[in-house]
Homo-oligomer: A and B are copies of this chain.
Amino acid sequence: MKKNEEVTIQSETIFNGRVISLELHDVKLPNGRESKREIIKHPGAVAIIPFKEDGKIVMVEQYRKAMERNLLEIPAGKLEKGEAPEVTARRELEEETGYGCEKLKHIISFYTSPGFADELVHVYEATGLYEIEDHLELDEDEFVELVEVTLEEAEEYITTQRIFDAKTAFAVQYARLKENK
């Protein structure tokens, strides 16, 4: 038994969707009492920080329905079943930006919302970018716009909340730490 483990007494799958599923667990707490946990299951995702030779970061702007607004983010995408994260990273980079990369380096993996979801994002740094002619196309329900930004612009966009999500905020700090080295 793990420290402070919450053991499932019974669970129910409320919803099984294309992206996420929702489970409701009755759990036994460490003090013996019972509680309920609402849990989102997600297949996991990758995010890529693509650096151009001149230091610019390649990002994509897209409409995010959950927030009903556009956000400027680093390229990212869901893992397909059985697909290695590095393969997903190269595919998403090509689909969303038209770039291939000579070097793809794993930086970190993190859970995005550990309080209610198991989504794990694997973050990669992509360098040695080159344009791919006849590159892979986006999924038919994806509409993204390429925006290449300097580090200073990215930091400015954080204050104006055009950049407004955790993985991209992490990426901008990563770029700043790299620049300061």
Contact = CB atoms under 8 A, between A and B. Distances in A.
Interface of A: 2-6, 14-15, 17-20, 22, 24-25, 27, 29-31, 33, 35-42, 45, 61-71, 73, 76, 78, 108-119, 121, 140-141, 143, 145, 158, 161, 164-170, 173-174, 176-177, 180
A15 B176 CA distance: 41
A109 B37 CA distance: 25
A67 B115 CA distance: 9
9 contacts: A3-B70, A17-B36, A19-B115, A66-B115, A66-B117, A67-B114, A67-B118, A109-B161, A112-B112
A62 B114 CA distance: 10
A42 B111 CA distance: 17
Contacts of A25: 65
A101 B50 CA distance: 39
Contacts of A108: 158, 169
Contacts of A78: 115
A109 to B, nearest CB: 7
